[in-house]
Amino acid sequence: MRDAAIALGVLILACGCPASKPTKNPLDLWSGRYQSAKLEVELELDGASYTGTVVKQGERYPLTAKPAGTDELEGQFTVGEESFACTLHMTKQGLDFTTGSSTYVLTEVRAPANPLDSGGDPSAPANPLDAGGGSTPDPSPAP
């Protein structure tokens, strides 16, 4: 058993795979960046609540929010000395940010797709090294 564990460790190291970034906590549904043409919201889990920033026309406003049900956060953002109530509602595409009588429909901003992956970003330029069907043996002899 010990030999198998050592062999697995050597295989992983030999792969040359870079250390990956920790994956997002599957229980943390809100952390991320969301945007529309008029507004951007950044959220990060902070204990049992969320902190972040609301950005409008380049101005950044601190935001705090707490869960209020399964698909909603209630919070406030601060402009100077004033605080304003807001509600964030989870949607399939991102979230709706409501404050006062205004609702902003925001889309989640995701990290760009890996262009070396065979399922890469279709909007990215064609990758000349991608065989397009998974792993294909390289016919050239090893040096």
The answer to whether the predicted template modeling score (pTM) of the entire model surpasses 0.85 is no
How many structural domains is the chain composed of?
1
Which domain does 56 fall in, by range? 32-109
- The model's pLDDT over 14-70, given as tens digits with 9 standing for 90+, comes to 444 444 444 556 668 899 999 999 999 999 999 999 999 999 999 999 999 999 988
CA–CA distances in Å: residue 5 to residues 10, 11, 19, 136: 9, 10, 19, 29
In tens, the pLDDT along 72-110 reads: 999 999 999 999 999 999 999 999 999 999 999 999 998
Task: Determine, yes or no, domain membership for 6.
Answer: no
- Is residue 91 situated within a structural domain? yes
